[in-house]
């Protein structure tokens, strides 16, 4: 898009046309009480480009890049390697500038990649059908809950004690706005099975996570059976998509809806967003699925082509009765996901998952060998929780001084749940033996 | 056995206190090829005017409204597998639900066949 600046004459002529003296007149309807009386303290006047650049460079230097040293943060966002090819593909102008087009079938390339994305997500989660993405894992989880309520015509949603609290918060927000009741089970490191005991005849769905926020890998088959016995659905959530290269996928555990975060594949940490939500379900539920769906077809000449399909679920047709208000998906992030997944293939994904698990095992061995460090996660993929003999906030601050970003303190995610001495630690294929040695050495000094 | 019609293009065929409900041939023609029908559950309570079903064609998705109040005795689940029946036999085999009428007096607000034909003529 071109930038077309206005001249002072342009502005004067536009103002004269609409009969306004200045742009300030546009705000005449904003009540005086809602307006700022003085300048915002600390906010300087506008500056020249060079001055702004200098200032911003100084600010940016305060950031520490995840690649600049030993880095062990996970808990929903993971530092993985993104091959250069991914950036090259997504920056092609045909892809980079396309929003889901208003006449979607005109952009066959975009639709084809979304179709391939759906195919990959369905294969990854072992579900029948996947949509063309959601905003992120937390909104995918929330949409799964309200979808389950539509399917079952019930109003109760039960969240496991191992569900990522950000996912739980997004789910509560959307559900409660729609008059659903959300039951949160007590926070537990290894408590997904509790869902099986909590489900009753009023329950629309139970939402379990594996690996959960503490990294615990669980078999949700038993939960699925209990849920189905009561006529409820199982929503199986994941925050680490790479785990699906090794652990049993949601579909094989009997999940009715799989919802998770796809950032790990093809997408950088991006300061926390944009990310890409993955959403898949059983075929018989597809009419109640939110989001866009691309389908494969043939044109009048019998040639393969792609279309948006089942659009009557969507808000441009169904208005307030649409299955969701999501219309624009995370198209570019989905493209990055698909580009990387295509490069990996099924075998590559499994190898990548193995590298992650091996790195996490080495990290667990190194940290677990330290006197006073307690390993809390019984079965993990690439992250786990440890208990330190000293307050976690202090430990992480001291690790930081030693150049190690040591993880996420659990009390940030679960304030008030007596987790002041718990740290969530993650390793990926980017974690080197030197990183692990540096972590163990620094932690040994501290405790 | 009498058939009544609504301005929203539903029909109801009444026998005693039971009514069979569907959408009219005119409505099915306007919708085009029907690809999906969403039906209520047996036992569901309907108030007159409630949207109780959805009929989806290649062109549009439309709500189907209850011509009278009542409870659903039976749904035509065959429509799930063969929604095209709605185009072939809208006022016959493609009935949507059978309901037990709550208040037969509500029928007096509906049109008979001739009135409905005249109503469609004016559209």
Give the list of residues 6+ apart from residue B49 with CB closer than 8 angstroms, or none: B65, B66
CA proximity to A236, closest of A226, A245, A252, A246 = A252
- pLDDT band for position A324 (50/70/90)? confident
CA–chain centroid gap for A71, Å, is 19
Per the DSSP assignment, residues forming a β-bridge with A307 are A295
| Mean pLDDT, rounded, for A186-212 | 97
Q: Does B42 touch chain A (CB under 8 A)?
A: no
- pLDDT band for position A431 (50/70/90)? very high
pLDDT at A40: 87
Whether pLDDT at A63 is above 60: yes
Pairing of β A156-159 and β A181-184? parallel
Q: What is the DSSP letter of A6?
A: P
Q: What percent of chain B has pLDDT over 90?
A: 88
Whether pLDDT at A71 is above 90: yes
A154-to-A149, A208, A233, B27, B73 alpha-carbon distances in Å: 5, 18, 11, 32, 21
Whether pLDDT at A44 is above 60: yes
pLDDT at A102: 65
- B-chain residues within 8 Å CB-CB of A153? 41
Put simply, the answer to whether A312 touches B41 (Cβ < 8 Å) is no
Put simply, the answer to whether A153 touches B56 (Cβ < 8 Å) is no
Can you give A341-384 as a three-state secondary structure string? HHHHHHHHHHHHHHHHHHHHHHHHHHHHCCCCCEECCCCECCEE
> A162 with A217: CB under 8 angstroms?
no
Whether pLDDT at B123 is above 70: yes
Q: What is the pLDDT of residues A90-137, one digit of tens each?
A: 999 888 876 666 677 888 998 999 999 999 999 999 999 999 999 999
- B-chain residues within 8 Å CB-CB of A287? 36, 38
- A-chain residues within 8 Å CB-CB of B41? 153
Which residue in chain B has the smallest CA separation from A313?
B61
- pLDDT band for position A315 (50/70/90)? confident
Complex ipTM value: 0.71
Q: Does A447 touch chain B (CB under 8 A)?
A: no
Which residue in chain A has the smallest CA separation from B61?
A312
Instruction: Indicate the pTM of the whole model.
Output: 0.87
Strand order in the sheet with A257-261: A129-130, A277-281, A257-261, A233-238, A203-209, A156-159, A181-184
Q: Which of B41, B61, B63 is the closest to A317 by Cβ?
A: B61
- B-chain residues within 8 Å CB-CB of A312? 36, 56, 60-61
Q: What percent of chain A has pLDDT over 70?
A: 98
Per the DSSP assignment, residues forming a β-bridge with A217 are none
Put simply, the answer to whether B60 touches A153 (Cβ < 8 Å) is no
pLDDT at A119: 98
Put simply, the answer to whether B61 touches A318 (Cβ < 8 Å) is yes
Distance from the A280 Cα atom to the nearest Cα atom in chain B, whole angstroms: 21
* Token code pair at residue B110: 């509906």
* Token code pair at residue A379: 């079965």
Put simply, the answer to whether B60 touches A317 (Cβ < 8 Å) is yes
pLDDT at A326: 73
pLDDT at A417: 85
- pLDDT band for position B34 (50/70/90)? very high
**Biggest CA-to-CA distance, chain A:** 77
CA–chain centroid gap for B49, Å, is 11
* Spatial distance between the Cα atoms of A177 and B29, rounded to a whole number of angstroms: 38
pLDDT at A323: 79
- pLDDT band for position A328 (50/70/90)? low
- pLDDT band for position A56 (50/70/90)? very high
Put simply, the answer to whether A153 touches B41 (Cβ < 8 Å) is yes
Q: Does B56 touch chain A (CB under 8 A)?
A: yes
Give the list of residues 6+ apart from residue A317 with CB closer than 8 angstroms, or none: A311, B60, B61
Q: What is the pLDDT of residues A147-179, one digit of tens each?
A: 999 999 999 999 999 999 999 999 999 999 999
Among the listed ranges A124-128, A224-228, A249-253, A305-309, which one has the minimum average pLDDT value? A305-309
Higher pLDDT, A96 or A371: A371
Whether pLDDT at B59 is above 90: no
Mutate to test the interface with A, among B61, B75, B80, B83 (most CBs of A within 10 A): B61
Check the CA dihedral A362-A365-A370-A375 and report its sign: positive
Can you give B21-86 as a three-state secondary structure string? EEECHHHHHHHCCEEEEECCCCCCEECCCCEEEEEEECCCEEEEECCCCEEEEEECCHHHHCCCHH
| Mean pLDDT, rounded, for A216-243 | 98
Distance from the B48 Cα atom to the nearest Cα atom in chain A, whole angstroms: 19
Q: In A402-445, which ranges are E strands?
A: 408-409, 422-426
* Spatial distance between the Cα atoms of A282 and A235, rounded to a whole number of angstroms: 11
Average pLDDT in chain A: 94
DSSP A84-152: HHHHHHHTSHHHHT--S-SSGGG-HHHHHHHHHHHHHHHHHHT-SEE-S-BS-HHHHHHHHHHHHHHHH
Q: Domains plus CATH for chain A?
A: 66-81+346-446 (3.90.1150.10), 84-340 (3.40.640.10)
Among the listed ranges A221-230, A315-324, A432-441, B18-27, which one has the minimum average pLDDT value? A315-324
């Amino acid at each position: 898009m071109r930038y077309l600046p206005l001249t002072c004459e342009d502005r004067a002529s536009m103002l004269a046309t609409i009969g306004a003296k200045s742009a300030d007149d546009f705000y005449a309807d904003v009540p005086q009480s809602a307006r700022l009386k003085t300048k915002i303290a600390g906010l300087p006047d506008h500056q020249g480009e060079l001055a702004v650049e200098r200032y911003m460079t100084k600010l940016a230097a305060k950031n520490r890049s995840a690649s600049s040293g030993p880095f062990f943060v996970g808990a929903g966002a993971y530092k993985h390697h993104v091959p250069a090819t991914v950036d090259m593909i997504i920056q092609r102008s045909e892809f980079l500038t396309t929003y889901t087009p208003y006449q979607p079938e005109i952009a066959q390339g975009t639709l084809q990649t979304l179709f391939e994305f759906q195919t990959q997500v369905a294969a990854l989660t072992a579900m029948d059908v996947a949509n063309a993405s959601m905003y992120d894992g937390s909104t995918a989880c929330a949409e799964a809950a309200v979808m389950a309520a539509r399917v079952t015509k019930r109003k109760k949603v039960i969240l496991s004690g191992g569900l990522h609290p950000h996912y739980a918060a997004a789910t509560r927000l959307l559900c409660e706005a729609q008059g659903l009741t959300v039951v949160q089970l007590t926070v537990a490191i290894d408590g997904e099975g509790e869902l099986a005991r909590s489900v009753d005849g009023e329950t629309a769905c139970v939402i379990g996570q594996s690996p959960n926020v503490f990294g615990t890998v669980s078999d949700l088959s038993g939960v699925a059976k209990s849920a189905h016995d009561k006529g409820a659905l199982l929503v199986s959530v994941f925050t680490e998509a790479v785990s699906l290269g090794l652990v049993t996928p949601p579909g094989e555990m009997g999940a009715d809806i799989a919802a998770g975060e796809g950032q790990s594949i093809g997408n950088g940490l991006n300061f926390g967003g944009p990310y890409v939500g993955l959403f898949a379900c059983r075929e018989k539920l597809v009419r109640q699925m939110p989001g866009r769906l691309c389908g494969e077809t043939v044109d009048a000449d019998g040639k393969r082509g792609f279309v948006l399909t089942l659009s009557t679920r969507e808000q441009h047709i169904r208005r307030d009765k649409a299955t969701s208000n999501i219309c624009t998906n995370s198209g570019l992030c989905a493209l990055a996901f698909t580009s990387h997944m295509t490069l990996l293939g099924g075998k590559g994904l499994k190898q990548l998952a193995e590298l992650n698990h091996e790195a996490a095992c080495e990290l667990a061995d190194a940290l677990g060998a330290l006197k006073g460090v307690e390993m809390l996660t019984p079965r993990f993929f690439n992250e786990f929780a440890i208990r330190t003999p000293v307050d976690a906030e202090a430990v992480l601050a001291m690790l930081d001084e030693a150049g190690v970003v040591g993880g996420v303190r659990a009390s940030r995610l679960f304030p008030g749940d007596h987790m002041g001495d718990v740290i969530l630690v993650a390793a990926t294929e980017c974690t080197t033996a030197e990183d692990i040695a540096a972590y163990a050495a620094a932690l040994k000094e501290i405790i | 056995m009498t058939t009544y019609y609504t301005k929203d293009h539903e029909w109801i065929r009444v026998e005693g206190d039971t009514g069979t409900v569907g959408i009219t041939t005119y409505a099915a023609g306007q919708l085009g090829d029907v690809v999906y029908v969403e039906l209520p559950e047996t036992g569901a309570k309907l108030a007159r005017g409630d949207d109780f079903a959805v009929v989806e064609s290649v062109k549009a998705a439309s709500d189907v409204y209850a011509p009278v109040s009542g409870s659903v005795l039976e749904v035509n689940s065959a429509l799930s597998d063969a929604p095209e029946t709605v185009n072939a036999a809208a006022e016959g085999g493609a009935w949507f639900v059978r309901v037990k009428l709550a208040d037969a007096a509500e029928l007096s607000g509906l049109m008979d066949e001739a009135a409905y034909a005249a109503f469609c003529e004016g559209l």
